[in-house]
Amino acid sequence: MDFTRQIRQIQRNGATATTLLRRHRLVACFGNRALLNFFLSGLTRPGQVAGAATTEEEGLALIKSQRPDILVVTDQLEKGCGIRLVERTKASCPEIRTLLLVGPLQRPAKLRAAVAAGCDGLCLESGMGLDAGTPALRAIRDGGTYIDRPLSELLRSRGAGQARGPVPDLSAREIEVIELVVAGLKNNQIAARLFISPETVKSHLTNLLNKLGARDRNHAGFLAVRLGLVDWPQEG
């Protein structure tokens, strides 16, 4: 594939990533060293990268010692598993935001496992330097969730192991709330947007967690998209 026409876009996206994450520290754990070098080369602000590794255990050690704001990890590592690293990160440091980069061989079961592990975002490796990279990083930075459209379609396909049984009935207000959760808004921001109290937002979220069988608000967002109840927000 001739990437000549996309060189400027890739360069702009690298600069944008540095700006987006200027106040955040991250750890990168990639199984592909060339991809890791490419990713790190776009982050030029001093102190922005707290550490980088290529194995699960090394990545976890960096998470525990550096306590970054964000973990960006590939599903395939030189040793270990990227999804398991996310799961272990969430168990020890649940406040850390996680973005999983998925390789070319996507499997529905793996994507479901990533959601269950607590991934805040799923993005194709091939799209990280192009269209998907900027919205993915912005959503993760802002406390929201993100998934590439191709991966979302795979999760929602009949063969992706979509939950059996009827899709839960959500009220119009509940749909508005979960759409704003997916967009990365916090409770007070949702309340201001919908002109309701933060307590009412919490009540709607409690109902949503129960109806969707979700463990937390981000998981509810993933499940709502997976069931086709809402769409992922588009960039711009």
Residue 215 C-alpha from the chain's centroid: 16
Report residue 163's pLDDT band, with 50, 70 and 90 as the boundaries.
very low
Average pLDDT over residues 93-101: 95
Least confident of 49-53, 157-161, 214-218: 157-161
Residue 126 contacts residue 3 (beta carbons within 8 Å)? no
CATH 1.10.10.10 maps onto the chain at 163-226
pLDDT at 235 over 70: no
pLDDT at 160 over 50: no
Q: Which one, of 35, 27, 71, lies nearest residue 51 by Cα?
A: 27
Residue 103 confidence (pLDDT): 87
The one-letter amino acid code at 125 reads E
Residue 65 confidence (pLDDT): 96
* Architecture in CATH for domain 163-226: Orthogonal Bundle (1.10)
C-alpha dihedral, 155 to 159 to 161 to 163, nearest 10°: 80
Report residue 122: phi and psi, to 5°.
-125, 130
Average pLDDT over residues 94-114: 85
Report residue 158's pLDDT band, with 50, 70 and 90 as the boundaries.
very low
Distance CA 96, CA 72 (A): 10
Classify residue 5 by burial, with Cβ atoms within 10 Å: 0-12, 13-18, 19+. exposed
Dihedral class, residue 195 (left if φ above 0, else alpha if ψ from -120 to 50, else beta): left
Residue 59 C-alpha from the chain's centroid: 18
Tokens of 25: 């520290």
Distance CA 117, CA 42 (A): 28
Residue 231 confidence (pLDDT): 73
CATH 3.40.50.2300 maps onto the chain at 4-158
Q: Which one, of 226, 35, 31, lies nearest residue 147 by Cα?
A: 226
Average pLDDT over residues 211-223: 90
* CATH number for the domain whose boundaries are 4-158: 3.40.50.2300
pLDDT at 177 over 90: yes
Average of per-residue pLDDT values in the chain: 84
